Structure formats: C-alpha cells, structure tokens
Amino acid sequence: MTKRTFVIGDIHGGLKALLQVLNKLEVKEKDTLIFVGDYVDGWSEAAQVIQFLIELSEKVNCIFIKGNHDVWCENWLKTAVVKPLWYLHGGKETIDSYDVFSEEDKKEHLSFFENMPLYHLDEENRLFLHAGFTSVHGVEKEIFTENFYFDRTLWELALAMNKNMDKDAIHFPKRLQHYSEIYIGHTPTTNYGETKPMNAFNVWNIDTGAAFKGKITGINIDTKRYFQSDNLPDLYPNEKGRNK
C-alpha cells in the first residue's frame, strides 16, 4: 500500500466540514495527515474538533501545527482569562463549545495544544507551518517565534515574485530558497477571490476561507490533487462563523 501525505488547511471549529474532507481523502492507516493549524474559533464545534483530532491521532499518523487561534485558545484553557481580541475573533464560539466538556477534558485538550510544534520539516525538505517566517536563514534562525503563526509577509513575497525570475539569481529572495516546498494556512485564499488552494513559486496556501464563507481543503502533497468540503455556512446555516 502506497503511503500518502495529505495537508489539511484551517478548520476553525467546522467539524462537519473536516469530516467531509477526510471522507473524500479516503484516509488509510499508513497515511500521514499534516494539519497547518487554526482548529478552533469560528463555528460551533471547536472543542469537538479537538476531541476528534486527539482520537484520530491514535489511529493515523498526524502532525498538528499550532496556529494563532490555537495559541489564544491554549492561553484561555491555561489561565481562564478571556482576551477581548480573541473573544471577538471566534473565541466566544470556542468558549461556548466547551460547555459540555469536563475539566478533565479541558486538561487533555490543553496538553494537546501545548505539544503542538510550530513547524514541521520532512525528509524531502518540505516545510509546513501555519503562517510564515521572516529570517533569511530559515526557520531554525527565526528570532520571533510568533512569526510562525502570524507572519503574512512570506505569502505576500511569493505572490509578488516575477514568475520568470531565475532561482539562482543573486537577488532571488533567500527565504524561498531554503525549502523545496512550503505549505501554509492563515491567509484565506478567498481574500484574493480564489476558492481553491493557491500556489506562488514553491509556496502552497491551503487556507480556503473556512472561518468565513469558504471551505476546508485537503491536498495530496505528491500529486497536488485536492479535496474540499462544502462551504461552511451551508453546513452551519444558523451560525455566522466569523462573518460578523
């Protein structure tokens, strides 16, 4: 059986959409699933998404990258302090989703968040992270680790590049030279009027707007074939997600 690797984009509490994508991927036990973060904040099943992912990881090899919304949720689970910025950007829905979970469940989820890496580099020099990085020397030399889940300049740089530029040119951006491919989420492709994954040079953006009116996307990193859920508002018709 061929081992496959899929990358899953931002989820934002949309368990119904996540299940649709996983069913379309027809995930097998030997497959690897790499999630690029933002599991919570938006739709009503944030805590349920985390519980499902914990149980999924017991059956399938999963790598869970930490996103900025996951950092906010982790901080709340740890301190019980509700930050206004987080509350207004999906935190309320996440807090509400935990009403049916016990304190022991919350501790297990906190541990899950705490153990998430900020990036993953595979044996073929492919980088997976939530947002980006700024160091011209690569992720290992990044000074401000918050950039891994907040930076948008890597994606903006890739989009701004002249497609005819020689990768060996002295002025070619060094950030794009370190890795064979880079997979990110964080910045919805729907911001650019695109409902599908976007590719700019060696950067693949697979956040297709699940927090808002878009879909969750899963992509096979070898074939580049991708699978998508329905639009999230169609799956949660009585909710707004982050469409405030």
Domain 5-235 sits in CATH 3.60.21.10 = yes
Work out the angle at residue 209's Cα, subtended by the Cα atoms of residues 124 and 23, and round it to the nearest 5 degrees.
Answer: 65
Q: What are phi and psi of 80, to 5 degrees?
A: 70, 10
* DSSP-derived pairing of the beta strands 226-228 and 203-205: unpaired
* Beta carbons within 10 angstroms of residue 62's beta carbon: 17
Report pLDDT for 95.
98
Question: What does the pLDDT read at residue 162?
Answer: 65
Question: Residue 129 corresponds to which amino acid?
Answer: L
Helix (H/G/I), strand (E/B), else coil: 184: strand
Of 240, 84, 71, 50, nearest in space to 150 by CA: 71
* Residue for token pair 């980006």: 132
**Tell me, what's the pLDDT at 170?**
60
What confidence score (pLDDT) does residue 217 get? 98
The pLDDT of residue 60 is 96
**Neighbour tally for 218: CB within 10 Å:** 25
pLDDT score of 15: 98
Residue with tokens 């879909």: 215
Q: Which residues of the chain have pLDDT under 70?
A: 1, 162-171
Task: Read off the pLDDT of residues 12-53 as tens digits, 9 standing for 90 and up.
Answer: 999 999 999 999 999 999 999 999 999 999 999 999 999 999
The strand pair at 32-35 and 5-8 is best described as parallel
The alpha carbon torsion through 223, 62, 112, 239 (nearest 10 deg) reads 50
